[in-house]
Structure 1
Amino acid sequence: MISIKKSRWAFPAICCALLIIAIIIGILVTPYDPYQVNVAEKLQKPSSFHWFGTDHLGRDVMTRLVFGAPYTLMFPFLVLIVSTFIGSFFGLISSHLGGKADTVITAVMDSFSSVPNLLLAVAITGLLGPGLINTFLAVMISWWVQYARIVRGVGITIRNEPYMLAAQLSGSFGAKTIYRHLLPNTMPLIRELFFLDMGTIILMMSSLSFLGLGAQPPIPEWGSMMLDGKSYLQIAPWITIFPATAITVFVMLFYFIGKGLKPRE
Structure 2
Amino acid sequence: MSAEVKLDNHNAAPLAAHPTEKKRPIFEALKSMISSKTSLIGLILIVLLILVALFASFLAPHDPTQGDLFSRYKSPSGAHWLGTDELGRDILSRLIYGSRISIQVGLIAVGIALVIGTFLGAISGFFGKWLDMLVMRVIDILMAFPSILLAIAIVAVMGKGLTNTMIAVGIVGIPQFARIVRSSVLSVKESEYIEAARAGGARQFRVLFRHVLPNCMAPIIVQTTLSIGTAILDAAGLSFLGLGVQPPKPEWGAMLDAGRAALQTAPWVVIFPGLAILITVLGFNLLGDGLRDAFDPRTKK
Q: TM-score, normalised by structure 2?
A: 0.83
Asked whether 1:171 is paired with 2:206, we answer: no
The whole-number CA distance in structure 1 between the counterparts of 2:73 and 2:268 is 9
> How many equivalent pairs are there?
265
Asked whether 1:264 is paired with 2:292, we answer: no
Q: Equivalent residues in 2 for 1:12-27 (5 A)?
A: 12-27=42-57
Q: 2:150 corresponds to which residue?
A: 120
Q: Equivalent residues in 2 for 1:136-215 (5 A)?
A: 136-215=166-245
Match of residue 82, structure 1, among 112, 133, 138: 112
1:53 and 1:154, CA in 2 relative to 1: closer, same or farther beyond 3 A? same
The whole-number CA distance in structure 1 between the counterparts of 2:192 and 2:56 is 55
The whole-number CA distance in structure 2 between the counterparts of 1:66 and 1:19 is 9
> Partner amino acid for 1:15?
L
Q: Percent same amino acid among aligned pairs? A: 38
Q: 1:240 corresponds to which residue?
A: 270
Asked whether 1:60 is paired with 2:60, we answer: no
> Partner amino acid for 2:50?
I
Match of residue 4, structure 1, among 13, 17, 32: 32
The whole-number CA distance in structure 2 between the counterparts of 1:156 and 1:48 is 59
How far apart are 1:243 and its partner, in Å?
0.8
How far apart are 1:177 and its partner, in Å?
0.9
Structure 2 unaligned spans of 5+: 1-27
Asked whether 1:228 is paired with 2:258, we answer: yes
How far apart are 1:114 and its partner, in Å?
1.6
Structure 1 unaligned spans of 5+: none
Instruction: Return 62-71 or 8-17, whichever deviates more.
Output: 8-17
How far apart are 1:29 and its partner, in Å?
4.1
> Partner amino acid for 1:4?
S
The whole-number CA distance in structure 2 between the counterparts of 1:209 and 1:22 is 21
Give secondary structure in 2 for the equivalent of 1:76: helix
Tell me, yes or no, if the aligned pair for 1:24 and 1:66 is still in contact at 8 Å: no
Asked whether 1:111 is paired with 2:141, we answer: yes
Q: 2:12 corresponds to which residue?
A: none
> Partner amino acid for 2:113?
S
